[in-house]
């Protein structure tokens, strides 16, 4: 992504992942959610649900260009005909990781 400085590069199976400050920050925030769930007294199934729910925002933040580049058949007659900009995909990931939980917290407060 443009404007993001790489912290390090990971390479596995010919695929190179650029680890940026944004990706590290998202992982730190997700880790805080996972640690906060049992500390708050949540049951084990709620903790598992938190972990599963974190997969989508982390995927959107860590692989925005790959996800945004998807075009084709989506099922039930839906087709994606143009690629989505990686920055918008990452922004959606940040919304799901930080924005939505903040809005839900404020709504339930």
pLDDT digits 0-9 by tens, 59-68: 999 999 888 8
pTM of this structure: 0.78
**pLDDT of the residue at 83:** 84
What is the residue-wise DSSP string for 67-94?
Answer: HHT--EEEETTEEE-SPPPHHHHHHHHH
All structural domains of the chain with their residue ranges:
6-108
**pLDDT tens by residue, 41-53:** 878 888 888 899 9
């Amino acid at each position: 992504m443009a404007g993001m400085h790489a912290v390090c590069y990971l390479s596995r199976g010919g695929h190179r992942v650029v680890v940026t400050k944004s990706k590290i920050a998202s992982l730190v925030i997700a880790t805080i959610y996972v640690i906060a769930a049992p500390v708050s007294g949540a049951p084990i199934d709620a903790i598992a649900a938190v972990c599963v729910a974190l997969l989508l925002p982390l995927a959107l933040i860590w692989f925005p260009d790959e996800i945004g580049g998807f075009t084709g058949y989506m099922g039930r007659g839906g087709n994606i005909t143009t690629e989505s900009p990686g920055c918008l995909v990452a922004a959606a990931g940040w919304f799901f990781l930080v924005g939505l939980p903040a809005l839900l917290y404020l709504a339930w407060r």
